[in-house]
Amino acid sequence: MADSIVKLEGITKAIKKQIIIEDLHMQIEPGQIVALCGGNGAGKSTILRMIAGISQPDSGSITVGGLRWKEDRKRYAELIGYMPDDFRFSHGLTAYETLAFWAVLRGIGKERVKELLHVVGLEDTGNKAVSSFSKGMRQRVLFAQALLAKPPIILMDEPTNGLDPYWIESFVRMVKETAANGQTVIFSTHQLHIAEVLADRIALLRGGQIELEGSASAIRKQLGASGVQAAFAEWFGLTGKLDGY
């Protein structure tokens, strides 16, 4: 078994005195695709933000590539590409200008920007401001931004929100190619069918804790359900109430 590239040990996090994450333990190996699934408030985004170093746990420890955020922030940050669930883009900047700005910060050449705009299908947006893009187009800009520096770890918060069926299929393919190149991908999603076709490991969260974890086939085998969505419904008693999951 490969050494873990991401380790969360005994993580607890409260926001406004409400416990969001409680005594969470997770280890993720290089090249894995891991999906964090659960309803609103389950803690998915909070986990990603803590791994990214944007937010710090109240207790416990997080290591990324053997590094801790407080001890070596620059090297820690260089290991991560982070895609938030949404972003307020600077008024007037095009997709190229937006990615070029991030490329300068990460020491990446303009050819990489052009390459990624082609990959995400935005090379023909011309002078159109990103602030005027649809949700799906903004998601593609954010996905390209996370990939810019080819970091070993990609974190994505609800990456398929707003994508049409064609781009969801393209996204699945691109993430699989990313993992095949040795990069580790951790993403959150309400769309359990995406987790089922894409993730090596699925963690079903409720109340800031992992209630069920494993491959899609292992989850189906354990619960005897026809798919992850059915298994999720069975586990949490949500049959007929899956909207928003």
Structural domains in the chain plus CATH codes: 1-27+44-74 (3.40.50.300), 79-154+162-183 (3.40.50.300), 191-239 (no CATH)
The gap between the terminal CA atoms of the chain, to the nearest Å, is: 32
> What's the CA gap between 36 and 209, in Å, rounded?
11
Query: Would you give per-residue pLDDT tens digits along the chain (245 residues)?
Result: 458 999 999 999 999 889 999 999 999 999 999 999 988 888 999 999 999 999 999 999 999 999 999 999 999 999 999 999 888 778 789 999 999 999 999 999 999 999 999 999 999 887 899 988 999 999 999 999 999 999 999 999 999 998 999 999 999 999 999 999 999 999 999 888 899 999 999 998 988 899 889 998 888 887 776 677 777 777 666 544 444 44
Contacts of 85 (CB under 8 A, 6+ apart): 45, 157, 158, 161
Q: Residue 87: CB partners within 8 Å, gap ≥ 6?
A: 138, 142
